[in-house]
Structure 1
């Protein structure tokens, strides 16, 4: 009641500034959560939440020794966070400096960028399929792929068909392994992916297909496979393999998986998760 009275006694200008203050704090928290989405920092937040709950419980039940230990963890935790997540913090500051953290691109710019990315993937996959150049390209979605990126060679390069083709040219240093894509960047090449241990995989499928399926079983990533033996194009997602796609089918399915069904609603009734046409 006293808080309400204090609020009503404020001048209108003060009320506006206080509301603005609350809104700005909410917006900053929202942007931080958006930035760390799909990274290991999400797991960190869950861990911090558990520690806070444990700290409250120790106070309630009078567990002094455990309370002291948790307090030490909290006191030194902030420094540990800065050290562990230095790359994420640096990326956030870089985006803030470029204005990307506060101002989002317009819808038309997003559509143009999405079209560019799909075209780059389509052109490179078409080139490699015709020449039977084996390829393995994983695209990060919600689940972070940093642990697999660490097994390869960091690149952080803009996606282009020329770059993707050049990476997978046989007998080059980066051709063996997977390329991992994050947003509009080729983050790393020559990465190792977990192999699927499913007993239902066809014996005719090689290591690339098993790696693509293995990653799709533990993450929500999309993985594109070009067979070195046949030149066939495949996509894996959510533990399912879509094989022998034409380049047109590949483009439509990739666009729908990567950017959502709203990007191409005409495909919604054309495909099932088995990679076959209805009817």
Structure 2
């Protein structure tokens, strides 16, 4: 063991490391980190675990000289490369959209929320509390890094601060814009009556209506946070990254919106916040029901 460690140390000393080598490793590490965070926030994490298990089995079959198993697994890995592109297509698209919509300075500077975002959250919770009691359907999309200009163009463009009374008027069932979604950008309403893409997941519960399917579809195609009120039951739901959290109390809605839309001073990532909300303890009154949209 001592000779092995000494040999490894001598091998390391032969490296001619430059600043470009360090930069090269740092860039790759950052890309891997972002990919892992992106996969962790979706159901693709389950697929990633299955792939990792398959690679471990391939390595063990090689070490144990299980030739037939190794041959079969090797062919599966070769044929599955193209399949991975199809399986992870939503995650790859979202990663490229986030990469294209981010500025270089955002990677190193502290994120600061626009001053109107906190007011928008407060007013939204007030409006949704009232809409939930009256069983009035509502659909709001909070834009984050991925621009939603194409979605805004499908409705009526507005420029207004978020107010509870305004939201209740927009979603009133006789209002001309009540059927579409309200788009919020940096704490301001920029569109109403907008058409959202529906989720293509055939495994969604049949209890979910078109409003919920549109909310899940929007969260699958962007990093937006979508808040929904059911017209049939009055229950409040939130869709993030293709996952739907149902039957939320107003306090839980406010906590979730704050965690997702306001920058966190703590060192833990937003994905851990979302996971803690979506995996809350049994018996909590606000737990609700989680529905996977992907």
Give the equivalent residue in structure 2 for 1:154: 157
State the shift of 1:165 in Å.
0.8
Q: CA deviation at 1:278?
A: 3.2
Q: Is this contact kept in 2: 1:243–1:275, CA < 8 A? A: no
State the TM-score, normalizing by the size of structure 1: 0.57
- Distance change in 2, residues 1:148/1:271 (3 Å): closer
Indicate which of 135, 142, 145 corresponds to 1:142: 145
8 A contact 1:195–1:211 mirrored in 2: yes
Partner of 1:184: 187
- 1:238-249 to structure 2, matched below 5 A, reads 238-249=241-252
| Matching residue of 1:252 | 255
Q: How does 1:115-130 map to 2 (within 5 A)?
A: 115-130=118-133
Query: Corresponding residue for 1:229?
Result: 232
Equivalence map 1:33-112=2 (5 Å): none
1:261 deviates by: 3.7
Task: Give the equivalent residue in structure 2 for 1:175.
Answer: 178
1:200 equivalent to 2:203? Answer: yes
**Structure 1 gap segments, 5+ residues each:** 1-39, 46-106
Q: Kindly indicate whether residue 201 of structure 2 is the aligned counterpart of residue 209 of structure 1.
A: no
Contact kept? 1:270, 1:277, Cα under 8 Å: no
CA RMSD of aligned residues (A): 2.9
Q: After the TM superposition, list the runs of 4 or more consecutive aligned residues in structure 1 that deviate by more than 4 angstroms.
A: 42-45, 267-271
CA distance in 1, matches of 2:280, 2:237: 15
The number of residues matched between the two structures is 175
Q: 1:129 to 1:262 in 2, by over 3 A?
A: farther
> 1:111–1:236: structure 2 CA closer, same or farther, 3 Å change rule?
same
Unaligned 5+ runs, structure 2? 1-96, 103-111, 283-294
Residue 226 of structure 1 and its aligned partner are, at CA, apart by 0.1
Contact 1:227 1:233 in 2 (8 A): yes
Distance 1:226 1:271, change over 3 A: same
How many angstroms does 1:269 deviate by?
7.6
- Where relative contact order (Cα < 8 A, 6+ residues apart) is larger, the structure is 2
Relative to structure 1, the CA distance from residue 111 to residue 137 in structure 2 (aligned partners, 3 Å threshold; closer, same or farther) is: closer
Question: CA 1:114/1:180 → structure 2, altered by over 3 Å: closer, same or farther?
Answer: closer
Q: CA contact under 8 A between 1:179 and 1:190: conserved in structure 2?
A: yes
Per-residue deviation, residues 64-86 of structure 1 (Å, max 9, x unmatched): xxxxxxxxxxxxxxxxxxxxxxx
CA distance 1:191–1:235, shift in 2 (3 Å):
same
In structure 2, the partner of 1:278 is: 281
